[in-house]
Amino acid sequence: MTEMVYGAVPARSGDPILPRWWRTVDKWSLSCILMLFGIGLLLALAASVPLAEKNGFGAFHYVTRQAIFGVVALIVMLITSMLPPDMVRRLAVLGFLVAFVALMGLPFFGTDFGKGAVRWYSLGFASIQPSEFLKPGFVVVAAWMMAASQEINGPPGKSLSLILAGVIVIFLALQPDFGQAALILFGWGVVYFVAGAPMVILLALAGLVVLGGSFAYNASEHFARRIDGFLNPELDPRTQLGFAFNAIREGGLFGVGVGEGQVKWSLPDAHTDFIIAVAAEEYGLVLVLVIITLYASVVLRSLWRLVRERDPFIRLAGTGLAAMFGVQAMINMGVAVRLLPAKGMTLPFVSYGGSSLIAGGIAVGMLLALTRSRPQGGIDEIFGRAGR
């Protein structure tokens, strides 16, 4: 009866880990992630060759690096997805602490690579962006705090997680990286909402975000320049947004043809922040819709499985991770079509970037681990708890 109602697949004691994992993991979401990674490699072949030639590397330098980073990310994702929820929580806490310390050290030891925002540590052969690893860890930590606050005599988890989110946002604003700061607040807000937040408090927090945005506009030239560019009704065709918007328009339904796109020769970030413009120009709306469908499938499948989850921590953490994954993809694509201001945010598993790929592997691995089918208890237990 339990399996009929909840769709759970009880794990038999003594089962090897791989068969047990394969029986319980969401294979549809896993397949979608693998397809997104394959599309990312395909687009890297188209988008990164001009940049590699410009920087004096071999034609497939960035493609090779993306393949290496991607394989590492997939291995990390698969290993993480095999962990039980308590191990996911411990991994998230440890990862969050390391990433948070790294975030605090950016003003002293970080670099901006000429992009005007100190977001990375340069290792010579590669770079690390702490905020990418901070996001999944923070969502799980916030979910843990809020789940603990629902227990009798539990800690004030909602207040503590809000304070922690505020501290993180301040450090991100100092870089400045308002896009990641907004994503952190969004992730916290989703977890808070699912945990049973009063609408009045959510509206008050939304008002504070608006006030914070107004302050940032007046205090940060970097932020103001991006907002002004977004609000300007006349789009300068020589800017990155201008090149990307024109490429998407030129692509039409089926694209201009493989290798025939021109935007990759004009955009320095065609292989990262504006990879969707390359997809739209060369492969058209058809590939863009496929990409959107893959992201939507992962999010909706995860939420559908989490609806049946009765453990508060698993439900909150999984919902936060799924929502953040989907919204990051929406932000990246929204910037390219000028629905949102430029934010410098990658498209998960599709854009080039070691930090983005590996951190995405960790985040999705946690999501797959939390959405695995597991016994939820008997029907008599449900009515027993309801009668208490």
CA–CA distance, 72 with 23 (Å, rounded to integer): 24
User: Helix 178-194 to helix 130-149 angle, to the nearest 10 degrees?
Assistant: 20
- The answer to whether the Cα torsion of 344, 347, 351, 354 is positive or negative is positive
Predicted confidence at residue 236, as pLDDT, reads: 64
Q: Which segments of the chain have a pLDDT < 50?
A: 1-10, 377-388
CA–CA distance, 177 with 293 (Å, rounded to integer): 28
CA–CA distance, 361 with 33 (Å, rounded to integer): 9
CA angle 301, 303, 305 (to 5 degrees): 70
| Closest of 149, 169, 167 to residue 158, by C-alpha | 149
28: CB partners within 8 A, 6+ apart: 297, 301
| Closest of 238, 283, 241, 237 to residue 259, by C-alpha | 283
- State the CB neighbour count (10 A cutoff) for residue 2: 15
Total count of residues recorded for the chain: 388
DSSP 8-state class, residue 388? -
99: CB partners within 8 A, 6+ apart: 130, 131, 133, 134, 137
150: CB partners within 8 A, 6+ apart: 157, 195, 312
Percent of residues in the chain assigned helix, strand, coil, to nearest 5 = 70, 0, 30
CA angle 94, 296, 241 (to 5 degrees): 90
pLDDT tens per residue, range 31-83: 999 999 999 999 988 888 777 887 778 878 888 999 999 999 999 999 999 99
| Closest of 70, 89, 105, 211 to residue 148, by C-alpha | 89
The SS3 assignment for 120 reads: strand
Please measure the distance between the N-terminal and C-terminal CA atoms of the chain and give it in whole angstroms: 22
| Closest of 374, 371, 373 to residue 29, by C-alpha | 371
| The two structure tokens encoding residue 377 | 């208890």
- Let me know if 258 is exposed, middle or buried by CB neighbors in 10 A (0-12, 13-18, 19+): exposed
The torsion angles phi and psi of 232, rounded to 5 degrees, stand at -65, 120
Predicted confidence at residue 237, as pLDDT, reads: 64
Single-letter amino acid, residue 210: V
CA–CA distance, 269 with 287 (Å, rounded to integer): 20
With contact defined as beta carbons under 8 Å apart, do 212 and 184 qualify?
A: no
- β-bridge partners, 335: none
With contact defined as beta carbons under 8 Å apart, do 101 and 330 qualify?
A: no
| The two structure tokens encoding residue 339 | 């629905």
CA–CA distance, 269 with 247 (Å, rounded to integer): 14
With contact defined as beta carbons under 8 Å apart, do 138 and 96 qualify?
A: yes
Say whether the peptide bond before residue 176 is cis (omega within 30 degrees of 0).
yes
Element spanning 219, H or E: helix 199-219
